[in-house]
Amino acid sequence: MTETDAQIIAAFAAVCAAVATGFAAWTAYFGPIRAARLAEDLRTVTEVRTNRERAKLNILGSLMTHRRSFWLPEPVSAFNLIDLVYNDNQEVRAAWAEMYLSVTTKSIPQHVQEEKLRRLLSAMSKDLKLADDLRTDDFGRIYHPDAMFEEQLVQAYQRKAALEAFTRKDTPPGTDSSSSEEVSDVFPPKPKRRDA
């Protein structure tokens, strides 16, 4: 081996050492950053999953609590969030679609609506892995004391009376609000609305 060969080998080794040093420096700089990003991504995914589970649980809890009073604002909000929060579960969304159809169609008997509701609650519970062993009949067991029922009845009558009072304000004086469509003693009947 000549002196030139030795110099070439030394130069090559120096270049390799420089590359290795550079790679080590790059790793030392970017390694923690990438690790932090990976941890953040994992945390975000976990947080999103946790938030979704919490939202699902809130909806299920609201519906379970108000199985006898669906007209209240809280269960109404819960129903309207099902498609959004349970968008990853087709079984829940199908059950909700069936229940929505049953409560918006006038000819559907009440016991059918209740059955649709129990199926929806069952599907939501299974999605959350809360009640794999519960049957739909178990969701029909509702504790609803008479005092609460009477309270709701009073509120319903008060709401009806308030609605009638507002309706009466819209009719002219001297006119019976129950026959607003008939010719009154003084005012003629309202004309038909023009088509848009």
Partner 1 sequence: MVDEIAGIYACYYSSTEGYGAAIFLAFQGKLTGVDPNGVLLDGFYGKAGGCYRLKVLVDAPAGTQLVQGGEAGPKGQKYEVEVPFKESLTEQPFFEVDTPLGPLNVRFQKLRDLDDGD
Contact assessment for residue 176 and residue 184, using Cβ atoms and an 8 Å cutoff: yes
Count residues binding partner 1 (CB under 8 A): 12
Contact assessment for residue 92 and residue 121, using Cβ atoms and an 8 Å cutoff: no
Name the residue nearer to partner 1 (CB basis): 108 or 183. Answer: 183
**Shortest Cβ 176–partner 1 spacing (Å):** 14
Q: Which amino acid is at 83?
A: D
Cβ-based neighbours of 163, under 8 Å, separated by 6 or more: none
21-40 mask for partner 1 (x: CB under 8 A)? --------------------
Name the residue nearer to partner 1 (CB basis): 29 or 166. Answer: 166
Name the residue nearer to partner 1 (CB basis): 101 or 165. Answer: 165
**What is the C-alpha to C-alpha distance for residues 127 and 115, in angstroms, rounded to an integer?**
19
**What is the C-alpha to C-alpha distance for residues 187 and 170, in angstroms, rounded to an integer?**
13
**Shortest Cβ 167–partner 1 spacing (Å):** 14
The dihedral through the CA atoms of 19, 20, 26, 30 has a sign that is positive
In the list 14, 38, 172, 178, the residue contacting partner 1 (rule: CB under 8 A) is 172
State the greatest distance between any 2 C-alpha atoms of the chain, in Å, as a whole number: 128
In the list 129, 186, 195, 196, the residue contacting partner 1 (rule: CB under 8 A) is 186
**Shortest Cβ 186–partner 1 spacing (Å):** 5
Name the residue nearer to partner 1 (CB basis): 132 or 182. Answer: 182
Name the residue nearer to partner 1 (CB basis): 111 or 192. Answer: 192
Residue 169 found at the interface with partner 1 (CB under 8 A): no
The residue with tokens 């062993």 is 133
